[in-house]
Amino acid sequence: MPAQAAVRRVAVVGATGSIGASALDVIARHPGRLEASVLAAGSRVEALVSLCRKHRPRHAVIADAARYAALRDGLREAGLDDIEAHAGDDALQELVAGDACDTVVAAIVGAAGLPSTLAAARAGKRLLLANKESLVLAGELLTAAAHEAGADIVPIDSEHNAIFQCLGAGSREPGAGSRDLRRIVLTASGGPFRGWTRERLRGVTPAQAVKHPKWSMGPKISVDSATLMNKGLEVIEAHHLFRLPGERIDVLVHPQSLVHSLVEFVDGSTLAQLGLPDMRTALAVGLGWPERIESGVAGLDLLAHGRLDFEAPDPEAFPCLRLAYQALAAGGTAPAIVNAANEVAVSSFLQGRIAFLGIPALVEDCLAAVAGGAAGSIDALLAADAAARDHANQRIAAGALA
Ligand code: NAD
Ligand code: MG
């Protein structure tokens, strides 16, 4: 990098979460090159103030508007008067779109991340996209907005980041991916219940489901990994990022989580990206790109790991993967319906209101019952999202899935 290169100013949206922590860890390794200029969180003011103390952003945003005074006072009490406090979704969107940052780490969990992710894309920011639900909900609109505004999207989901890296070995011009590629293969750890039968899954508790064998992540994505819905969402995510139909996106269970995904080119070459399961690698790719920067992650000692195993996913025990493929094939608002139903189902499961197998049951029910339509506008997508949430909540209230 040239000696006088400008500092990259990064907004970390979802700073108090698991991805947020990994992003801030990488940023802190590169003073003079990277700066966390905006930190945003949902409602945990104390955690946000504590991050502000350490990372000294220019702006701190709490999405929950009712927490504004708490944030302002918390910053003042911590002696951080130079950090500007903001609250509410509109403030967040203005900040990610404004001059305070040139790069946005989109790491809110769920469809709640769509407005800020979209605002960053529309403003032409470099978008480090971890918030996969926004792509599942509105992939076409989001990628079109990024394209129009010249926003580069670097996927942070480890599988898509792996593919992003492998695609560097193909033709360089945008859109060449679908021509060069025969297929992509997303790897999946299989989650904590790999090898379990449907019968055995009946009694699964939230504590068991959030205990992922390989990755340390927030509760929602941990449950998604346990049902394999995470991989289903990732198939839809890959479709939007790499412009391939579902038939050319395969899933392979790989319990060691060292091969993060593979791409097969038309000439028969298969390229894979390997590394320890640590999201700081993907974040460093996005923060440094097109250069490579230190992430704090050690290299991979294959001798110590010994072996790499691969197996097919079990569609009987984990129907969520099939449901996601089905929604992708149906198109329109179907993926938005699946995503919303899944968000309600996971949250209800974590609250002990429905059983583990109630998650796929509820998603399947919503996909069949909620009318799908064209995904032409954000309003149409948000209406489908709301209809699916309504239907899902009614089914849960009726006690159908306990
Ligand atoms: P997490 O639960 O640990 O953190 C979520 C963050 O979002 C928190 O900072 C929270 O304050 C914020 N948030 C929640 N609701 C909000 C709202 N309405 N407005 C503003 N902020 C809000 O989640 P995570 O594991 O860091 O995952 C974040 C995203 O990254 C998810 O979409 C997940 O699928 C994706 N992802 C995570 C990992 C991982 O290793 N954790 C890997 C791949 C992809
Ligand atoms: Mg992933």
- Residue 268: pLDDT over 90: yes
Domains of the chain, with CATH numbers?
8-155 (3.40.50.720)
Query: What's the distance, Cα to Cα, between the start and end of the chain in Å?
Result: 57
Which residue, judged by its Cα, is nearest atom 34 of ligand 1? Answer: 221
> Strand, helix or coil at 253?
strand
pLDDT score, position 212: 87
pLDDT score, position 307: 96
Q: How far is it, in rounded angstroms, from Cα 354 to Cα 399?
A: 8
- The C-alpha torsion from 364 through 370 and 376 to 377, rounded to 10°, is -110
| Cα Rg of the chain (Å, integer) | 21
In a mutational test of the pocket of ligand 1, which residue from 22, 210, 221, 231 has the highest number of ligand atoms less than 8 Å from its CB? Answer: 221
Atom of ligand 1 nearest to the CA of 132: 32
Q: How far is it, in rounded angstroms, from Cα 256 to Cα 80?
A: 43
- Residue 4: pLDDT over 60: no
Q: Do residues 187 and 181 make contact, with C-beta atoms less than 8 angstroms apart? A: no
Residues 6+ apart with CB under 8 A from 335: 136, 137, 139, 236, 324, 327, 328
What are the start-end ranges of the E strands in 102-196? 103-106, 126-129, 153-155, 181-188
Q: Which ligand is nearest to the CA of 217?
A: 1
Rounded average pLDDT over 188-211: 97
Which residue, judged by its Cα, is nearest atom 5 of ligand 1? Answer: 17
In a mutational test of the pocket of ligand 1, which residue from 217, 227, 278, 342 has the highest number of ligand atoms less than 8 Å from its CB? Answer: 217
- Please give the mean pLDDT across all residues of the chain: 95
Rounded to the nearest whole angstrom, what is the distance from the C-alpha of residue 315 to the centroid of ligand 2?
19
Q: Is 41 in the pocket of ligand 1 (CB under 6 A)?
A: yes
Q: Which ligand is nearest to the CA of 222?
A: 1
Q: Which ligand is nearest to the CA of 162?
A: 2
pLDDT digits (tens, 9 = 90+) for 107-120: 999 999 999 999 99
Q: How far is it, in rounded angstroms, from Cα 397 to Cα 265?
A: 49
pLDDT score, position 114: 98
pLDDT digits (tens, 9 = 90+) for 42-97: 999 999 999 999 999 999 999 999 999 999 999 999 999 999 999 999 999 999 99
Rounded to the nearest whole angstrom, what is the distance from the C-alpha of residue 112 to the centroid of ligand 2?
19
Rounded average pLDDT over 207-236: 95
- Residue 144: pLDDT over 70: yes
- Residue 1: pLDDT over 50: no
Atom of ligand 1 nearest to the CA of 131: 32
Give the CA diameter of the chain. Answer: 64
Which residue, judged by its Cα, is nearest atom 2 of ligand 1? Answer: 218
Q: Which contacts qualify for 66-72: CB closer than 8 Å, 24 or more apart?
A: 67/43, 70/45, 71/45
> Strand, helix or coil at 281?
helix
- Transcribe 34-103 into DSSP letters: EEEEEEEESS-HHHHHHHHHHH--SEEEESSGGGHHHHHHHHHHTT-TTSEEEESHHHHHHHHHSTT-SE
Q: Is 18 in the pocket of ligand 1 (CB under 6 A)?
A: yes
Q: Do residues 57 and 22 make contact, with C-beta atoms less than 8 angstroms apart? A: no
pLDDT score, position 170: 62
Q: Do residues 165 and 272 make contact, with C-beta atoms less than 8 angstroms apart? A: no
Atom of ligand 1 nearest to the CA of 64: 19
pLDDT digits (tens, 9 = 90+) for 331-360: 999 999 999 999 999 999 999 999 999 999
Which residue, judged by its Cα, is nearest atom 4 of ligand 1? Answer: 17
Residues 6+ apart with CB under 8 A from 118: 134, 138, 141, 142, 145, 378
pLDDT digits (tens, 9 = 90+) for 355-386: 999 999 999 999 999 999 999 999 999 999 99
> Strand, helix or coil at 106?
strand
User: pLDDT-derived band of residue 38, with 50, 70 and 90 as boundaries?
Assistant: very high
Q: What share of the chain is helix, strand, coil (3-state, %, to 5)?
A: 50, 15, 35
Q: Are strands 153-155 and 103-106 parallel, antiparallel or unpaired?
A: unpaired
Which residue, judged by its Cα, is nearest atom 17 of ligand 1? Answer: 42
